[in-house]
Structure 1
């Protein structure tokens, strides 16, 4: 039983009120990151929310992996490798491998949950400072 590791639970990580930076039509809001120990060495697993409203396309060239799941609205993704634009709606999922190059857009607005293999970039405004390092043992009382 000593090899068991406790779960991490984060309550209240809402996505409904994420502010957009001035002059921007899209933003990410990382709400938690865990530094993990994998067979390839330490890495980060970070999750958060993506918000986009109508406006110019937002390019992204991935240097990490990401999985995105649409919760509300619509998120359009132009895959530059194929030239195909995917129209994702609630319940749709997309995976972005390293070296993917895409453009995000929407005609209205969209919200998505994501998981990425990178450290925190832009903390969720209500949940800053949530980082956990599972590579270091925790003291137990």
Structure 2
């Protein structure tokens, strides 16, 4: 009888890297925090990308992660040409989904997924901070990460 794979579980021995014996070290960024992300002059929201790679999956794409910071002010429109996940860390982020007309009030612990073609308007009555991961290259590098990526040769 043939081997049945449970597609819900990852399989290390299916990985080309595992099969070839080439182990790849992790990328670690110490202090990739949100505390020192300034808003651009005259703006009430910004992104701060802190890591990006060109994936080595079946359909290579960029995979970038960072923080989204917003303060009270005008709505911030976005029309998605890439996928994105947002996870609210603190504050509140309101998202008007133009496809449905519904405004979602996201608070810490809430998650949103934006499909290619999603069109939204972000706002907040106070402030909000979210972690995101997107399938696009870096647009706005985190302003305070210079020198924080660890050397892969570092030993504990």
Q: TM-score range by the shorter chain?
A: 0.7 to 0.9
- Structure 2 unmatched ranges of 5 or more: 1-17, 150-156
Asked if 1:84 is matched to 2:102, the reply is: yes
Counterparts of 1:6 and 1:92, CA distance in 2? 31
One of 90, 94, 111 as aligned partner of 2:112:
94
- CA positional deviation for 1:127: 2.0
Q: Is the 8 A contact 1:76 1:87 kept in 2?
A: yes
Asked if 1:108 is matched to 2:126, the reply is: yes
Counterparts of 1:67 and 1:129, CA distance in 2? 27
- CA positional deviation for 1:8: 1.7
Match of 2:75 in 1: 57
Asked if 1:32 is matched to 2:60, the reply is: no
Counterparts of 1:17 and 1:8, CA distance in 2? 21
After TM superposition, the score normalised by the length of structure 2 is: 0.79
Greater strand proportion: 1
- CA positional deviation for 1:11: 1.1
After TM superposition, the score normalised by the length of structure 1 is: 0.87
Counterparts of 1:128 and 1:95, CA distance in 2? 29
Cα pair distance change 1:88/1:22, threshold 3 Å: same
Greater helix proportion: 2
- Structure 1 unmatched ranges of 5 or more: 132-141
Q: Is the 8 A contact 2:92 2:108 kept in 1?
A: yes
Q: Is the 8 A contact 1:31 1:130 kept in 2?
A: no
One of 64, 76, 80 as aligned partner of 1:46:
64
Q: Is the 8 A contact 1:70 1:113 kept in 2?
A: yes
Q: Is the 8 A contact 2:48 2:140 kept in 1?
A: yes
Structure 1 segments (4+ residues) deviating >4 Å: 128-131
- CA positional deviation for 1:129: 8.7
Report the structure number with the largest CA radius of gyration: 2
